[in-house]
Chain A
Amino acid sequence: MGGMSLIVKNITRLVAAFIALFGAYIVLYGHLTPGGGFAGGVILASALVLVVLAFGEEFSRQIFSHGAARVSDSAGALVFLLVGLSGYLAGAFFANFPDLLGTVGRLASAGTIPISNLAIGVKVGAGLFGVFLALALFRRRGERRSMEPDLEVFDTEARS
């Protein structure tokens, strides 16, 4: 799939960045305004999905490849687990740090919550985008395989 018409591509070019920006805002301000890591992550993923739909799978590879999605998926999850473990070392699993709680309403407040939000946002965004790519790129056996650049990941694993 080479992408959609010129109009769609142009509008996507304009809009995608804003969607991604909005996603980032939702993630970062999750502890102050509605939203949070999950909603923001899904928005980030949908910005990427929009790009894929408009420009085709080949193009998306240059922005965020499938391999990168898988790595950031794992990394986000690990960071969130580490937040929990850091609390564990400080006394209780997922303890928030009282000294870092900060004043209500500031971006740097609520201790570990923004960090967790960020980790979840990255994880969810990357994970959903990865699944979308995998679903979208899946072809029946026997079809031409030239259109599936990134799913080679699975096959390289099998070969090595």
Chain B
Amino acid sequence: MDPLLVLLLVLLGFMLIGSLIAIETRDLLSSIISIGAVGLALNVVFLMLGAPDLAITQAVVEIIILVVLLRVILTRRDESYATSRSTLAVGSVLLVLGFLVALVFGALSRSGGGGLQMRPFGDPLMNESGPATAMAPAGEPQAVPPEHRTEAMPQSIGGAYLKYGLEKTRAANYVTGILLDYRAYDTLGEATVIFVAVIGAYAVLRKVGRHRHGRDVVNR
């Protein structure tokens, strides 16, 4: 058996236990520390699966989140840790979630039949190669550059990025090449998301939301 897979499963188990502790503990401080441990495990998973970019980002993002959350709970007294949860909601949700898990189970066990199935872990679709036209829309042969027309093309765009990314973007880091050239528009959206959240947080944290009128009445 692949040692990497074993290590991965151990890490995933650690993440599961860590998140369960984070959820069930009564103390908010330990909850936040446990979630930090889960994030750290995720970080190791990223490194293990060949994604140092993500590991860096995940690490710093997690630090920021932890610092902010810690500040929030440390400066505020909260006596509600021990409030019981509503059992009805829990029960019904668990039912739905159980159904979900069953569905997932069904999806993940490859039925072996034909059709499009989930690719197993470690064997993504880009391992497969097809004729060059596989990447082109039907009836559009000129969409494939002439020099590649005879080669086998990877079956997924991830493979295509790997194959042509360097020569097209000249960025040694393929991930950056995708982020800022192939999918730069996504990244613009991503930058906008942060911008929206920042502006939104400013808006929510304003001291005075609206000027009250003298005759304003409570709406309930």
Contact = CB atoms under 8 A, between A and B. Distances in A.
Contacts of B5: none
Contact of A33 (B173, B191, B201): B173
A73 B206 CA distance: 18
A117 B202 contact: no
Per DSSP, chain B at the interface is helix
B68 interface: yes
B164 interface: no
A31 B198 contact: no
A93 interface: yes
Contacts of B206: 154, 158
A101 B170 contact: yes
Given A102-B170, A110-B171, A127 B53 contact: no
Contact of A104 (B55, B60, B170, B188): B170
B184 A105 contact: no
- DSSP class of A's interface residues: helix, strand, loop or mixed? helix
A21 interface: no
Given A36-B53, A158-B208, A31 B177 contact: yes
Nearest to B173: A31
Q: In the complex, which range does the number of interface residues on chain A fall in?
A: 35 or more
Contact of B64 (A45, A96, A102): A45
Contact of B173 (A32, A94, A102, A112): A32
A24 interface: no
A42 B198 CA distance: 13
Contacts of A120: 187, 191
A30 B176 contact: yes
Interface string A72-98: 011011001101100000000110100
B100 interface: no
Interface of A: 26, 30-39, 42-43, 45-46, 49, 53, 70, 73-74, 76-77, 80-81, 83-84, 93-94, 96, 101-105, 109-113, 116-117, 120, 123-124, 127-128, 130-132, 134-136, 138, 141, 151, 154-155, 158
